[in-house]
Amino acid sequence: MNKTVLVTGGAGYIGSHACVELSEAGYDVIVVDNLSNSQMEAVRRVEQIIGKPLVFYQADVRDKPALSDIFQQHKIDAVIHFAGLKAVGESCQQPVAYYHNNNVSTLVLVETMAQFKVSHLVFSSSATVYGDPQSVPITEDFPLQATNPYGRTKLFIEDILRDLSQADVLNNAELPWKIALLRYFNPVGAHSSGLIGESPNGIPNNLMPYLSQVAIGKLEKLSVFGDDYATRDGTGVRDYIHVVDLAQGHVKALDYLLAKATDEGLCEAFNLGTGQGNSVLEMIETFQSVTGQMVNYQIVDRRPGDIAECYANTDLAEKKLGWKAQKNLHDMITDTWRWQTKNPNGYEEKL
Ligand code: NAD
Ligand code: UFG
């Protein structure tokens, strides 16, 4: 019989791609999302790709009665927790909203899971928990630090989940937690169908959606934030990872947790990146050569809070989860561009 996985935030950018990969891997998927940063159209498009309906609940994960109802109605085997707010700048302006949404939702979720004896959890963490790393590539045992409220929510949640796992040891728990903390590097790209992708509200903060909106003529010019970093061309270097590879990493993490013996508890962190760093100028050049579109850009001052270089060592995920990113920068850009040209206004366009 298929295992059933509850996906919080499943209507969002990464969650929607994960629903496709989970379904294709034979999991039954239930989505809970409050649609605060997504649209129902994303769920419809996922259904179109997988060729069957998704069980969807519009609810806030902080709403305990609503969440309990879902656990009551379905026999859930595991949870992937994507739901959360994710904009670094906004988190500095509205820290309480971020702590409330991200941290309270996680607390309500794990309380409800414990109540219904569900112990397998995959959590969306971020490379932001490494702060400004002393060197690259980054391994999972690097010191953790947060440099903004968003990052602190991720760090707190990781700590909470590690504490839960430790408590199992002290309590000699019969059904210990099996938790994977997946630290994403920079997710980009879209599903190869062009049906689902990233649909940011307003002006994008992140490089790839900004770049593609300049290329399509929705935005005038890309600002390159600084060319005086100690990197090969002076611009910031990041580990861009295709969102479908990332989604498949969740399937592998789930398989890994579900294969553990019932009494075997764990809380382990894994980097999900490609292990390759690319600079902003390299991204622009590759974007231009793959799409044939010129990208108007100018060099401006550094963006406060940005770091020079960030890329992953992904050996642990390869060794333990049997996962390695398959797609290259060319794929990431081709798929981003297909999504952008087919959906110039994101999910506003109904197919
Ligand atoms: P997203 O905003 O597209 O998706 C998040 C989804 O969660 C949205 O559909 C939103 O409506 C929903 N949501 C938010 N709060 C909720 C709540 N309280 N109850 C129910 N639903 C709620 O973001 P994404 O890019 O898909 O990111 C998913 C997760 O991955 C987030 O936790 C994010 O912090 C993390 N992450 C993202 C990135 C990135 O660059 N995209 C990088 C590292 C980590
Ligand atoms: N950049 C520009 N111009 C832009 C946008 C970005 O030059 O308009 C540069 C940045 O300075 C950086 C690189 O492009 O060097 C990538 O920036 P993004 O904003 O796309 O991504 P970040 O690495 O800053 O942050 C992202 C997520 C965070 C997450 C982090 C690590 O937004 O939430 O990756 O996972 F914490």
End-to-end CA distance of the chain: 33
Catalytic (active-site) positions: 150
Percent of the chain whose predicted confidence (pLDDT) is above 90: 98
Q: Give the pLDDT mean for 252-279.
A: 97
Residue 168: what pLDDT?
96
Q: Which of the listed residues 6, 33, 153, 240 should we mutate to test ligand 1's pocket, taking the one with most ligand atoms within 8 A of CB?
A: 33
pLDDT of 349 above 90: no
* Residues with a CB atom less than 6 Å from ligand 2: 86, 88, 126-128, 184-186, 205-207, 210, 222-225, 236, 238, 280, 303, 306
Q: Is 249 in the pocket of ligand 1 (CB under 6 A)?
A: no
Domain boundaries of the chain, sorted by first residue: 4-348
Residue 351: what pLDDT?
53
- Distance from Cα 222 to the centre of ligand 1, integer Å: 25
Q: What are phi and psi of 22, to 5 degrees?
A: -65, -45
Residue 118: what pLDDT?
98
Amino acid at 123: F
Give the tokens for residue 154: 């991720």
User: Which residues fall within 8 angstroms of residue 99, CB to CB, at 6 or more apart?
Assistant: 149, 152, 153, 156
Length of the chain: 351
- pTM value is 0.98
Give the integer Cα–Cα distance in Å for 202 and 72: 37
Residue whose Cα lies nearest atom 15 of ligand 2: it is: 236
Query: Dmax over Cα atoms in the chain, in whole Å?
Result: 61
Q: Is 124 in the pocket of ligand 1 (CB under 6 A)?
A: yes
Give the integer Cα–Cα distance in Å for 231 and 276: 14
Does domain 4-348 fall under CATH 3.40.50.720? My reply is yes
Give the tokens for residue 218: 């929705």
Residue 53: what pLDDT?
96
Peptide bond into 344 cis (omega under 30): no
Ligand nearest to the CA of 59: 1
- Per residue in 74-127, pLDDT tens? 999 999 999 999 999 999 999 999 999 999 999 999 999 999 999 999 999 999
Residue 350: what pLDDT?
54
- Per residue in 202-221, pLDDT tens? 999 999 999 999 999 999 99
Q: Are strands 120-126 and 78-81 parallel, antiparallel or unpaired?
A: parallel
Residue 172: what pLDDT?
94
Residue whose Cα lies nearest atom 5 of ligand 2: it is: 207
Contact predicate 189/212, CB 8 Å: no
Torsion on CA atoms 273, 274, 275, 279, rounded to nearest 10: -90
**SS3 annotation, the chain:** CCCEEEEECCCCHHHHHHHHHHHHCCCEEEEEECCCCCCHHHHHHHHHHHCCCCEEEECCCCCHHHHHHHHHHCCCCEEEECCCCCCHHHHHHCHHHHHHHHHHHHHHHHHHHHHCCCCEEEEEEEHHHHCCCCCCCECCCCCCCCCCHHHHHHHHHHHHHHHHHHHHHHHCCCCCCEEEEEEECEEECCCCCCCCCCCCCCCCCCHHHHHHHHHCCCCCCEEEECCCCCCCCCCCEECEEEHHHHHHHHHHHHHHHHCCCCCCCEEEEEEECCCCCEEHHHHHHHHHHHHCCCCCEEEECCCCCCCCEECECCHHHHHHHCCCCCCCHHHHHHHHHHHHHHCCCHHHCCC
Q: What are phi and psi of 160, to 5 degrees?
A: -60, -45
pLDDT of 260 above 90: yes
Ligand nearest to the CA of 295: 2
Beta partners for residue 30, in sequence order: 6, 55
- Per residue in 137-174, pLDDT tens? 999 999 999 999 999 999 999 999 999 999 999 999 99
Residue 348: what pLDDT?
82
- Per residue in 11-66, pLDDT tens? 999 999 999 999 999 999 999 999 999 999 999 999 999 999 999 999 999 999 99
Among residues 226, 232, 229, 228, the alpha carbon closest in space to that of 132 is found at: 229
Residue 134: what pLDDT?
95
- Distance from Cα 10 to the centre of ligand 1, integer Å: 8
